Amino acid sequence: MNNDYSISVLRKRLSAICIAITFLFCILCGRFFYVQVVWQEELAYRALDQWTREIPLVAERGLITDRNGTVLVENNTAYTVYARSNAVKDKAGTAEKLATALQLDGEALFKKLTTVKASEITVARRVEKSRIANLTAQGLDGVYYARDNLRYYPQGEILCQVLGFTSSDNTGTTGLEKYYDKYLAGKNGELLYETDLVGIELQDAVAAYRAAEPGMSLQLTVDLEIQRVVEEALKKAVEEYSPVGAECIVLDPNNFEVLAMANYPSYDLNEVPRDDIKKLNALSRNRIVSDIYEPGSTFKIITAAANVEEHLKGNSAAYSQTRIFSSSRTRAVDGTTVKCWNNHQNGKHSNQTLSEALNNSCNPCFTDIAMSLGKETFYQYLSAFGFGKSTGLDFSGEALGLLLPQGAVRGCDLARIGFGQTIAVSGLQLACATAAAINGGKYYTPHLVKKVYAEDGYVEKEVGAELQRTVISEKASRIMAEMLEGVVAEGSGKKAAVEGVRVGGKTGDILTTCVNLVKNLIKIYT
């Protein structure tokens, strides 16, 4: 019995040992499979990295042109200088020669070559070709050069806040350079050299070359000639009236293509003030997209459009074109008083029709409209016209505006929204809403880029008119266009009239400098 027991125990122990050996064997086999199959690519890359050194080949960024093909952004060739400390035989001499040729701190460079453990050191970026030729002639061991691309803006400060600029490593930082960076950047290549374990290039080694893929180019909707006129008009406005700044957008109402977009003051994109962050942020900010303000009387276009549409729908509370507004200069709402900017003396601003109220820009009349429409209906129109939300422009940092939550709006708030107070909008939002009011009621997605295309002509992306919604009927829109023509022909906007041309508008705080702008734009189109 003892023998049987001993044999049984022995068998169990042998079985356990066999199971353990089998388990370990399976683990080893699994590990071998993982290393040789799953981990193969990474290990091959590590091996390649150990016995090769690479020089990056920076991809050339795509061009940016206006709608007619005029180049707005291109590239100038520059070079980046690298040094491999292990391959530099005379570190002191090499540091001195590099410092002299590139105007660098020789001691700091020598310290890098002797103490930095990285296999490759970036000595200088964006070096001119003439200096590279001088260094090449000296035949410095362990020093290498790679072509870089220096962004160049032929038009200087024209369209600067829209185009934006790139960082020192050629990555888009602001504007369209940033928004479309994934298309403009391309893919970097590299030049591989075989080296020994300490990074010294092997004699008779063959270099491997992977070409860089150039970035795609952008064709904008912007017309350079219109942009020039706009920027000149803004400059004159600032010189004459001394505001803190000035902005303008020219939008095609038929498809919401941006034909011009400018902010003043501006700056030269070839001389970006990178050392003064506060100044750079102020000058590079596209305020017409990113900043908001109370629109004032220009907002009366939206209030009038909502009223006309409601009248056509049969809303008895809405004012028709012939219905008369009270001549009183004030309105009392929730204990607050709304006043007209005009004192109504000498018969001015007596009983008025809707067209006359627009011509005279009479605040109380638009208070009446807002109150008659009511909070719910008026807010439906505010939403349809795009206030309080993004327009969808292909540009970073768009402001949403400031629109009080409908539930929090009091009667006095609603009254003031009617003539452009207690609401804040961006210049872009107001331009899009106004265009929709007179183009047949169509609200499109505004855009700055017409197409994205490759060097060989392949079109990656083409941007056309994208209808978001219809805000008012064609009939209401036609009535609005006629009334806004009346503002220029007979009302407060007479100075903007151009003989032989249909011009509509709505006055705000500054109008006189817009006259020459309109006339010059007409010359361009005709």
Domain with CATH 3.90.1310.10 in the chain: 58-219
**Cα–Cα distance between 526 and 257 in angstroms, integer?**
19
Residue (of 160, 65, 159, 75) closest to 450 by Cα position? 65
Per-residue buried b or exposed e for 219-236, using 16+ beta carbons within 10 Å of the residue's own CB: bbbbbbbbbbbbbebbbb
411, exposed or middle or buried, with CB in 10 Å at 0-12, 13-18, 19+?
A: middle
Q: What is the pLDDT of residue 524?
A: 53
* DSSP conformational letter for 213: B
Secondary structure (DSSP) of 475-525 = HHHHHHHHHHHHHHHTSTTGGG-BTTB-------S--HHHHHHHHHHHHHH
**Cα–Cα distance between 159 and 145 in angstroms, integer?**
34
Q: What is the CA radius of gyration of the chain?
A: 34
Q: What is the pLDDT of residue 131?
A: 86
Q: What is the pLDDT of residue 55?
A: 67
Q: What is the pLDDT of residue 511?
A: 44
Domain with CATH 3.40.710.10 in the chain: 292-448+467-525
Q: What is the pLDDT of residue 512?
A: 41
pTM reported for the whole predicted model: 0.81
- Mean pLDDT by runs of 10 across the 526 residues of the chain is 67 80 85 76 60 71 97 91 83 88 87 78 84 85 81 96 92 96 90 58 61 93 96 92 90 97 96 92 95 94 96 90 84 89 65 89 92 96 97 97 95 95 96 97 98 95 96 97 91 81 77 49 53
Q: What is the pLDDT of residue 470?
A: 98
| Domain boundaries 292-448+467-525, corresponding CATH code | 3.40.710.10
Q: What is the pLDDT of residue 406?
A: 95
284 is catalytic: no
Q: What is the pLDDT of residue 52?
A: 58
86 Cβ partners below 8 Å, 6+ apart? Answer: 119, 142, 198, 199, 200
289, exposed or middle or buried, with CB in 10 Å at 0-12, 13-18, 19+?
A: buried
Q: What is the pLDDT of residue 84?
A: 80
Question: Between the CA atoms of 151, 152, 155 and 158, what dihedral angle is there, to the nearest 10 degrees?
Answer: 30
**Domain at 58-219: CATH architecture:** Alpha-Beta Complex (3.90)
Q: What is the pLDDT of residue 513?
A: 44
Q: Please pick, among 85, 284, 297, 426, the residue that the annotation labels catalytic.
A: 297
Contact 80, 148 (CB under 8 A): yes
Q: How many CB atoms lie within 10 A of CB 513?
A: 19
Can you tell me which residue has the tokens 């600029």?
A: 165
**Cα–Cα distance between 79 and 245 in angstroms, integer?**
38
